[in-house]
Amino acid sequence: MSLFRRGDQPEFDPTQPLVATGNLGRRHAVSRIIQFVAVAAAVAAVAVLVIVIWAVVSHGAKAIDWTFITTGYPTGVGPYLVGTAEVVAIATLMAMPIGVLIALFLSEYAGRRWTRPVQLVLDVMNGLPSIILAVFIYILIVASSKQQSGFAAAIALAIIEVPLIARGTQEVLRLVPEAQREAADALGVARWRSILTIILPAASGGIVTATLLSVARAAGETAPMLLLNSLAKGDAVQLNPFKEVPNVPVRIFQLSEEANPEGFTEAWGLSLILIAIILALGLSSRALLNRSKRKMTR
């Protein structure tokens, strides 16, 4: 007697003694099969991760040496690395204050009435395909100035980063004990002083975590870079963000479109560097988050 097929069983009579249904073996078997499937699914996901990372490491390690990292096109990829760091840094500098302010608005000012719409805007923004952001910034900036630039790409990346930073910050702001706010209020500290000197510092670990995660996400974004910042040749470091800045994701994409084995090796090498940076950012942010959470809940 399955518990959940209520239709085809007689009315339950609580006065009757409980009787074994006789198909316990089958039910256990079903349960065990499902548990096995769940384990298998988890193993499969981890296996895919291992296979992909292994492919990148084993192919990429062959490409990487000192000249590969330090020289420019055609022998190395230095300018791409510098360019990616530059564009992502600009994007983060724009996104971080805005993201933190939105989080502050949500946690400190918005009552019930305003939380939901703002949250919804953030969710929609977070869910927007990056290619659409790329098209948007193209229309807004590149089409009118007739000039691709790292700065244009940085704006698109900033739009990607804002909801991530805002959400992460909001989550740690929620962890700041209510007692601290009340204590500040009781001492007669003005709201803005308590926010800037008590609440924000308490949440700083979480803000850095959220920012690191958003940097990891932005560093690998290809669509905005492809539409807004893809014409640089990569033979020299370009520090002016208002010109085309060479960058890693576009280079990998372009190399993968050319059927050239030597190019593939370079792309594997770039992939390895990019993935290493992104995973390092992810792991360090996780460690940081655990530490600051422990500190806050102590």
62-81: contacts with another protein (CB under 8 A):
none
Among 279, 291, 294, 295, binds another protein (CB under 8 A): 279
CB 104 within 8 A of CB 168: no
Among 57, 85, 89, 98, binds another protein (CB under 8 A): 98
Identity of the residue, 190 or 239, whose beta carbon is nearer to another protein in the bound complex: 190
Cα 141 to Cα 132: distance, rounded to the nearest angstrom: 14
Alpha-carbon torsion (105, 106, 108, 109), positive or negative = positive
C-alpha torsion angle, residues 94, 130, 117, 177 (rounded to 10): -60
For Cα atoms 256, 243, 234, give the angle at the middle one, nearest 5 degrees: 40
In Å, what is the CA distance from 64 to each residue of 122, 220, 251?
Answer: 39, 19, 16
Identity of the residue, 82 or 173, whose beta carbon is nearer to another protein in the bound complex: 173
Q: Kindly state whether residue 236 participates in binding another protein, applying the rule CB under 8 A.
A: no
Q: Which of 176-184, 201-209, 238-246, 260-268 is the region at the interface with another protein (rule: CB under 8 A)?
A: 260-268
Identity of the residue, 26 or 239, whose beta carbon is nearer to another protein in the bound complex: 26
Q: No. of H helices and E strands in the chain?
A: 13, 0
8-47: contacts with another protein (CB under 8 A):
27-28, 30-31, 34-35, 37-42, 44-46
List all residues 6 or more positions away from 26 whose beta carbon is below 8 Å from its beta carbon. Answer: none
Identity of the residue, 66 or 192, whose beta carbon is nearer to another protein in the bound complex: 192
Identity of the residue, 45 or 93, whose beta carbon is nearer to another protein in the bound complex: 45
Identity of the residue, 68 or 136, whose beta carbon is nearer to another protein in the bound complex: 136
Q: Which of 74-82, 124-132, 177-185, 233-241 is the region at the interface with another protein (rule: CB under 8 A)?
A: 124-132
CB 284 within 8 A of CB 194: no
Among 85, 101, 237, 296, binds another protein (CB under 8 A): 101
Cα 64 to Cα 76: distance, rounded to the nearest angstrom: 9
CB of 106 to another protein, least distance (A): 8
